[in-house]
Amino acid sequence: MLRAALLSAVVLLAAPTAAQAATARIYFTKGEQLAYVERDLPIGVEPALKALMAGPPAGYGTTLPAGVTAKVKGTSIDFTPNLKDYAARAQVVYTTASGEDEVKIDGKTYTREDFGPEPYVEPEPPARKVPAPAKPKDVQTKLAALGYLPTSAITGAFDYRTMQAVLAFQAWTGLDRDGVVGPMTLAKLQSAGRPLPLDRTSKGRRVEIYRAQGVVLLINSGKVVRAIHTSTGIGGDSPDIGTPPGKWKIYRKEVKSWSVPYKTWLPYAAYWVGGWALHGYADVPARPASHGCARLPLPEAKYVYDFVSIGTPVQVI
């Protein structure tokens, strides 16, 4: 069951008297980042928490589990059952602790600093686990000709990048995605053409994200430059850990982007709306697996990051 609550943080924007309401920021999730909505609420932990637990507005998501209840005493909150999920605790802290203020959750004290970035460690792709074809360089050459690999990746070694390219090729041509270059994949490689985008008339660079296939197309003036394997949100169309369809534009880029709710670095992140981004990730399986973003194989993440600019159109299909 999709979780239905968003991270919330109370930030007093004025200094009213105790009898007055204050404008509070209630943080929910959008993709893999926190995002707030503003509410006029009485000052205090309990009103803010109540607003958070009421659930997210349209277009937002949450990590608070359904059915959880809470008792509040001052700045101390006891949940039933205990709130064990890291992202859910982050929501509560950002909702109820302003700035350096502390809040106690199930007996443990937290501040926002507890959810800050950890030291960056360069992620590594997983070890290859599929057999290599008899002629890996020939396979790489064909994949590059079709746009699934850059020519610089034609090395003769059936590495992780090549396996991910095979996954993208298999997905786009309707084959089962296993990364293995078997007889059916070899036959398709001989007959397939370069992928065709949905939009073949727009000028300039654009991105199309095909969730069902698990493929990202990088397009320049209607022609596919690259086709890259991806894994999108497990929540389908929902803004709650899904990847909603639609048209947007890249509005933010970060070489190293920290996800507060999911306690992880998102390398080479290019955001198209809210906290939804194209970014590198160590694990990019042949199925939806993310909290909403479009995961990219680490060897391809910088390529995609360099391809897009602020304002590059993105269509999620």
Catalytic machinery residues: 279, 293
Cα torsion 236, 241, 243, 247 to 10°: value is: 130
Between CA 80 and CA 290 the distance in angstroms is: 27
**Residue 73's CB: how many other CB atoms inside 10 A?**
10
Is 287 exposed, middle or buried, given 0-12, 13-18 or 19+ CB atoms closer than 10 A?
Answer: exposed
Query: Nearest 5°: phi and psi at 299?
Result: -65, -20
Angle at 36 between CA 32 and CA 37, to 5 degrees: 140
Between CA 167 and CA 228 the distance in angstroms is: 9
**DSSP string of 145-186?**
HHTSS-GGG--SS--HHHHHHHHHHHHHTT----S---HHHH
**Residue 65's CB: how many other CB atoms inside 10 A?**
16
